[in-house]
Every structure is written in structure tokens, then in C-alpha cells.
Amino acid sequence: MKMKLASLALGATVAAAPAMADLVFPSLSYRTGPFAAGGIPFADGYADYFTLLNERDGGIGGEIAQVPECETAYNTEKGVECYEATKDSGALIYQPLSTGITYQLIPKVTADNIPMHTMGYGRTSAKNGKVFSHVFNYPANYWDGASAGVNHFLEQSGGSLDGKKITLLHFNGAYGREPIPTLEALAEKHGFEFNAIPIDYPGQEQKSQWLQIRRERPDYILFWGWGVMNQVAIQEAANIRFNMENFMGIWWSGSENDVKPAGMGADGYKSVQFHNVGSDFPVFDDIQKYVVDAGKAAGAGDQVGTVLYNRGVYAAFLAAEAAKQAQEANGTSAIDSGMMRDAMESLTITAETMEAAGLPNFGPEFSVSCMNHGGDGMAAIAQWDAEAQAWTLISEFAPSDASVIDPLINADSAAYASENNISEGCS
Amino acid sequence: MPEQLIFGMEVFLNGLMAGVLYALVALGFVLIYKASGIFNYAQGVMALFSALTLVGIMEGQVPFGHLVNAIFGTEIHGFGWHVPAFAAILLTMGVMILLAWCVQRFVFRDLVGQEPIILFMATIGLAYFLEGVGDLMWGSEIKKLDVGLPQGINAVIDETTFEWFGYGFFIDNLDIVATIIAALLVAALVVFAQYTKQGRAMRAVADDHQAALSVGISLSFVWVMVWSVAGFVALVAGIMWGTKSGVQFSLSLIALKALPVLMLGGFTSIPGAIVGGLIIGVGEKLFEFAVGPLVGGATENWFAYVLALVFLVFRPQGLFGEKIIERV
């Protein structure tokens, strides 16, 4: 009996582990815990895109893509455990989907020569590849998001924010405080008054913050929230009758989850996005046909086309494109994480690349280099139509204000390099 | 009148309203602790579970639908009907009574007489179990809860205060409804405890298990009844908080708001839960208003606990709790 159990256990382990020639894209997902509603669609999108490549194209360059999932519950310690448990399986890239986990993994991935992609989160100054050799945050980071929001308000105000008041309502933690230096610099440049109002986790009770907003009457609000904080903030804004046209969330505060509970009150709410929204893209027809209808979807298949599912698809698309470019550059389909890192550092995403993948105009065109691991910081603005129950992009992807952001990135990355005895440079 | 004083009055009123919502959560803890000496860690999760069940019933969702589909490859998502809010609330209450029976039958019946810490650990297990079952039954996506409660600024208060002070106060209609419901709930609980046979049995068990048993009161029955009442209180709290934020996992975290209320009001007093809630609600809001801007804001979470701690130092049993006397 013991022998039988041992054989079964061994068999299960072998079946679970990827074959050595497979391309391994570990997914550090969170399907449980307070943020599960946001983690599930992303993880589904990430897994479904690779399943599509396997089912439709026979993998990437003939190699099957494996996406072993490890549950982090959005918990930093568990995230690090997941990394340690999966890194020796031939992992090509990590997307930890948490700023806390990202900070812990930066030295680890660098030592292990595995690239990490922190798309729209993590350490903003990782854009400087001369310091953060293994961390990439293309196509946009938080400071780009702040700049995109201010640029939109600038346009809304007829080209001048002089004398206007912009409030940042934010999660009281590293993630929420991230855009403050940028917004202070932008306030100086454009002459608007800036103040920040923090909300403690989890943010179910925000009466104080919204009474303060009602007293101070800001012209515009930028919002950096996550989880239940998002739904409550949008509901409270509707309660005090704040003009939703002037209320904008960062991409983590701009999904269907965030606006639906407020019903019609959320109509007109805006969010910054670094990828397109909706399901009107050829790739989703293929996902429906080869993945969902074939019963191979990671989830129930009911998230296809939602903002966070699209983000998962986009993250997988960028990883798959880097893997393809690594295969081409090295003349082999069996790439390793070092080759993957090099390919990410020379990655170019054009309109043709996206069109070929069934994702026309899904994200901005950009290219990566050692000097710039973050692209041009292109972002667009989306708006919620409560009647149609849909997000729509209301602007083109536009670059962030590099004149303000680049000096901040250089200063922050230089401080990190100095603290960690890193010599800046490109290999 | 000085502007800051007018703003302070608005903050004070909103603090009272927030306090009522905290007290609603704390009530559930008090009921169970009073009758059984168990600190029910699962009270917040019970609010989540009841709200999930309510939305699921209202929307005609098939329980465990995702699981059934995953195992059998079916495409079942809903019954295709919509249950009116009142009927759904009654059905949900039925589920909470069933849950109370299961908790008594399968968890606490065999733990009678165990140390309080063992019972507390059992409620931790119960909390995680309910979290998982709730997810499996109804899914983890955020659900809109609409049982017809009004939301948004109260126009009458806004206009009246504007006439008086030149500044209209913001009071949320939902908070006003919550206050009325909480008052009715407390009145009903007091009447139940004082004037009904079952209520007297509950009080007898709370006073002395052994003595209550010796006069023929069924401990099992009383515990099922108390867990059912706590389930009902959890449902009311779940409706109020779920209407504000949508029904989602984070609803279980409202228990964090109840802890300082319990520390302050006492674990054994229904009026204590109410007064404690009001003090915490007003205290944290006024502190945030007066001191928050000077220290970077977001003071409410820690201030509530500091305030409770101060009370604890001077009155360990809380404002209305039973005085702890140990004879040696």
C-alpha cells in the first residue's frame, strides 16, 4: 500500500512538473483573499492566452508553454515562497502582480538571472535598466499614470491648470504614495494646488475622507486604490454628487468590479489604462473557440473581455512576444531565462506585432533598451458608461511628461544603486 | 458661527452614524459571548456569508454552480428567476438558522466544557470554513446588493442646515436607515431577552450553564437560538455594509471595526455595544478632522484601538461589561 502511494505521489509530481523543454511562465496568482475579485480575471487571462498559443499554434516556436500557478493570496511572504518553489522549474519570467512581492524579488531575480515584468506596478524607478538589470516595467508605470491623468485634466481645463486644485485620494501604503513626488513636481510645473488624502486598508469606511473632499472642493481627484477601497470611493463620490467627469482612477481602480456596485452613480468615472478595453479584438474570438468552448479555460470563461482579464492577456502576449524574439535571436526554440532577459531588453512592439497577434491597437507601440526598461510611458484614458455597462477608451495612447518623470527616475534609481552597491551600466 | 465649528458638527453627526454601523457588527459578538462565553471570530465572515447568500437567492444563482460546471462540464449558471428582497431575506434567515444548527451540532456540542481558548480556536476554523464555502457556493466576484435601501445625501438635512449655517451637512440616507434599523433591532433584542420564555432561557444560560441545565433548559436549543440571532444580526450588518461596498470578501473584515467597540463597551452588554460604537465612531471621526491633517491623515484605524486601550486600562471590563471578581 505504501509503495502504491509513493508511486502515485511520484507520478503526480512528474505530471505537475513541466517537461524540461517546455517554456515555463509561472503565474503568481491570487484567487483567494480580499483581492481575489481582481486577481482571478488577471490569472485567467494570463493562462488562457498561453493555452490559446498551445492549442492553436502548437506553442511558441514549437515549444509548449506551461503556466504553473502558485497562490500568493496577495501576500508578500507567500509570493516569495512561490518564487522559491517554482524558480528551478525552468522559469523564464515572473510577473508577481504585487508591489510588495516585487520589492522582495528584485535582488532575488537579479541573482538568479531571471527577468521580472512588473507591468503598471512595482518599483517605478526600475525603468532605469542600468540599475535594475532584471526588472522591466513597460509599457507604463505609476508616474506615467499620474502624468497621463494630469495631462487629461489639463486638456479638460482648456490647457491650463493654474489655480486649480487636484487631490490624490490614495491607499495609505507604498503603492498609494508612489505618485506623490510626481504630482508635486507636476503641481509646480502647471501651477495647480495639490494635496493627498490617505485611506487606511481596507477602506470600507471613508466618510472622513469624503467629508474633507466636500469641504475642500477640489476641481479634480486622482485615485490610487485597490480592493474594496475602490467600490466604496466611487459610491461615496456618487453620494456627495462629485462630478464623475473629474474623478479618475489609476488602472488598478478602473475595472468593472469597481464601478458596477455603484450602479448609475458611477456613470462618467474615468481611469488611466495602458491597454485597450472591451472584447472587440480577433484574439478573443480565438480564445472563445480554442480555449473556452474547448473546456480548457483557466476559469469559468465568463471574464473574457473584462478590463483585468484583458490585462492578463496583454501581460501574456508581451511575455510570449519576448520569448519569440529570444528564440529568433538565439536560433533555438529551447530558450532559458538569460536569453529571455536579453530579449526583453531589446523588445519592440509595433502595430504589426499586435495586429498579427489578433490584438490591433490593444496597447501602445514601444521599444525597450538597457537605458529604458519602461517604454515611453504611453497611457490612455477610459470612461465608464453605466447605461451600456462598458468601458470605452476616450483618448489615444499618449506619452507621459518625460521632462518631469525622468529626473525623478534617475534620482530614485541612483539612490537604490548607492544603497545596494550597484554600479550603473549596460552589459 | 465659526466655519470649523460647523464642519465639526457635520463630522460629529457622521461619526454617530458610522458608530451605529460599527455597533451593528459588535452586537453579534456580544450576543454569542453573553450566552456561551465564546468570542466568535467568525462573526465578520457570517456577515459576508449571509450577504452572499442573500444576493445569490435574489439573483436566482445556483449554489456551487461553478463547482458543478467544473466537475460535470455543464453550463448551469442560474435558475432564471429573481426573488424579491423581502422573501430573499426570509430565505437567507432560514439558511442562517440551518447554519446555527450545524455549528452547534458539528462543532460546539462536542466542545462543551472546554477552555475558552479552545472554543475561540474553533471559531477561527469556522471562519475559514465559511469563507471557503461562501466562495464555492456563490463565487468570489463582487456582487451588487440592492434591497431597495436609499443611498446618497439627504436633501432635507442638506437644505435645512444650509438655511441655518450657510453650509449644507452631508448625511447619507443609508446611514439614517441603518440607525433606525439598529434602534429597532436593539429594542427587539431587549424585548426578546426580557419578556419571552426563550429570552429568559438565554439569560439563564448566560448567567450559569450548570444552573440552567439543572432546571431543564436545553443548552443545545439556547445555543442554536443565540447563533441564529447572531446570524440575523450578521445579515443586517451584511446588508448595510454590502449596500455600501458591494458584497465581496472584504465584508468579513468589518469585524476589525467591531473589536475596539467591544473593548470599550464590554463583551457582555448590548447597550455597551451601542454606546461603544457611538464613542468610537465620533471619536475617530473628530480626531481625524482635528488632528489628521497635522499628521498626514489616515488616523482612524489606530485611533479607535488607542481609544479602546485607554478605556481598557481604567475599566478592563469595558463601560458596561460585568465586573470581573475572582475570589480566592
Is some CB atom of chain B closer than 8 A to the CB atom of A266? no
* Nearest CB to B300 within list A208, A235, A240: A208
Segment A125-175, tens digit of pLDDT: 999 999 999 999 999 999 999 999 999 999 999 999 999 999 999 999 888
User: What pLDDT is attached to residue A302?
Assistant: 85
Q: What is the mean pLDDT of chain B?
A: 91
State the best of B244, B247, B301 to mutate against chain A, taking most chain A CBs within 10 Å.
B244
Q: Do B297 and A204 touch (CB under 8 A)?
A: no
User: What pLDDT is attached to residue A426?
Assistant: 84
Whether B248 shows a pLDDT value over 50: the answer reads yes
Is some CB atom of chain B closer than 8 A to the CB atom of A264? no
Q: Do A215 and B7 touch (CB under 8 A)?
A: yes
User: What pLDDT is attached to residue B325?
Assistant: 65
User: What is the value of pTM for the model shown?
Assistant: 0.91
In 3D space, the residue among A131, A115, A113, A74 whose CA is nearest the CA of residue A97 turns out to be A74
User: What pLDDT is attached to residue B326?
Assistant: 63
Work out the widest C-alpha separation in chain A, in whole angstroms. 79
In 3D space, the residue among A334, A309, A332, A314 whose CA is nearest the CA of residue A375 turns out to be A314
The DSSP result for A105-118, as a single string, is: HHHHHHHHT--EE-
Work out the widest C-alpha separation in chain B, in whole angstroms. 69
* Nearest CB to A295 within list B73, B141, B246: B73
Which domains, ranges and CATH numbers included, belong to chain A? 19-138+278-370 (3.40.50.2300), 142-273+380-407 (3.40.50.2300)
Is some CB atom of chain A closer than 8 A to the CB atom of B248? yes
Is some CB atom of chain A closer than 8 A to the CB atom of B322? no
User: What pLDDT is attached to residue A389?
Assistant: 96
d(CA A158, CA A155): 5
Task: Tell me if A277 sits within 8 A of A382, measured CB to CB.
Answer: yes
pLDDT band, very low/low/confident/very high, at B194 (cuts 50, 70, 90): confident
User: What pLDDT is attached to residue B75?
Assistant: 76
Would strands A165-171 and A220-224 be described as parallel, antiparallel, or unpaired? Answer: parallel
Residue of A nearest to B302 (CA): A200
User: What pLDDT is attached to residue A2?
Assistant: 41
Read off the pLDDT of each residue in B103-124 and give the average, rounded to a whole number: 91
Whether B235 shows a pLDDT value over 70: the answer reads yes
Residues 165..204 of B with a Cβ closer than 8 Å to A: which?
A: 170, 172
Q: How far is B46 from chain A (nearest CA, A)?
A: 15
* Nearest CB to A37 within list B142, B285, B296: B142
User: Is ipTM beyond 0.85?
Assistant: yes
- Chain A neighbors of B251, CB-CB under 8 A: 204, 228
Whether B49 shows a pLDDT value over 90: the answer reads yes
- Chain B neighbors of A198, CB-CB under 8 A: 296-298
User: What pLDDT is attached to residue B324?
Assistant: 63
Is some CB atom of chain B closer than 8 A to the CB atom of A217? no
In 3D space, the residue among A250, A276, A264 whose CA is nearest the CA of residue A387 turns out to be A264
Segment A190-238, tens digit of pLDDT: 999 999 999 998 999 999 999 999 999 999 999 999 999 999 999 999 9
Task: Count CB neighbours of A278 within 10 A.
Answer: 15
Q: Do B298 and A207 touch (CB under 8 A)?
A: no
Percentage of chain A exceeding pLDDT 70: 95
pLDDT band, very low/low/confident/very high, at B231 (cuts 50, 70, 90): very high
Q: How far is CA B21 from CA A288, A392, B26, B44, in A?
A: 44, 36, 9, 13
Whether A270 shows a pLDDT value over 70: the answer reads yes
* Nearest CB to B18 within list A33, A207, A215: A207
Whether A176 shows a pLDDT value over 80: the answer reads yes
User: What pLDDT is attached to residue B257?
Assistant: 86
Phi, psi of B78 (to 5 degrees): -160, 165
User: What pLDDT is attached to residue A49?
Assistant: 98
Read off the pLDDT of each residue in A244-264 and give the average, rounded to a whole number: 96
User: What pLDDT is attached to residue B72?
Assistant: 82
pLDDT band, very low/low/confident/very high, at A75 (cuts 50, 70, 90): very high
User: What pLDDT is attached to residue A3?
Assistant: 41
Task: Tell me if A138 sits within 8 A of A397, measured CB to CB.
Answer: no
* Nearest CB to A240 within list B73, B170, B296: B170
User: What pLDDT is attached to residue B323?
Assistant: 67
Q: Do A231 and B245 touch (CB under 8 A)?
A: yes
- Chain A neighbors of B73, CB-CB under 8 A: 295
- Chain B neighbors of A30, CB-CB under 8 A: none
d(CA B166, CA B160): 9
Beta strands in A32-183 (DSSP E): 65-66, 69-71, 116-117, 135-136, 165-171
Percentage of chain B exceeding pLDDT 70: 98
Helix locations, chain B, DSSP H: 3-36, 43-58, 65-72, 85-103, 116-138, 155-165, 173-195, 197-207, 209-214, 219-245, 255-265, 270-290, 292-295, 300-314
Highest-confidence segment of A401-410, B104-113, B264-273: A401-410
Decide which of B122 and B271 is more confident: B122
Q: Do B10 and A231 touch (CB under 8 A)?
A: no
Ordered by start, the domain boundaries in chain B are 28-260
Task: Tell me if B161 sits within 8 A of B138, measured CB to CB.
Answer: no
Residues 47..66 of B with a Cβ closer than 8 Å to A: which?
A: 66
Q: Do A228 and B146 touch (CB under 8 A)?
A: no
Whether A260 shows a pLDDT value over 50: the answer reads yes
pLDDT band, very low/low/confident/very high, at B312 (cuts 50, 70, 90): confident
Is some CB atom of chain A closer than 8 A to the CB atom of B144? yes
Is some CB atom of chain B closer than 8 A to the CB atom of A294? no
Choice among A7-16, A253-262, A369-378 with the minimum mean pLDDT: A7-16
d(CA B45, CA A30): 19
Read off the pLDDT of each residue in A414-423 and give the average, rounded to a whole number: 94
Is some CB atom of chain A closer than 8 A to the CB atom of B135? yes
Choice among A90-99, B171-180, B254-263 with the minimum mean pLDDT: B254-263
User: What pLDDT is attached to residue A14?
Assistant: 38
d(CA A382, CA A391): 6
pLDDT band, very low/low/confident/very high, at A294 (cuts 50, 70, 90): very high
Q: How far is B256 from chain A (nearest CA, A)?
A: 10
- Chain A neighbors of B282, CB-CB under 8 A: none
Q: Do A265 and B152 touch (CB under 8 A)?
A: yes
pLDDT band, very low/low/confident/very high, at A9 (cuts 50, 70, 90): very low
Whether B29 shows a pLDDT value over 80: the answer reads yes
Whether A21 shows a pLDDT value over 80: the answer reads no
pLDDT band, very low/low/confident/very high, at A4 (cuts 50, 70, 90): very low
Decide which of A282 and B311 is more confident: A282
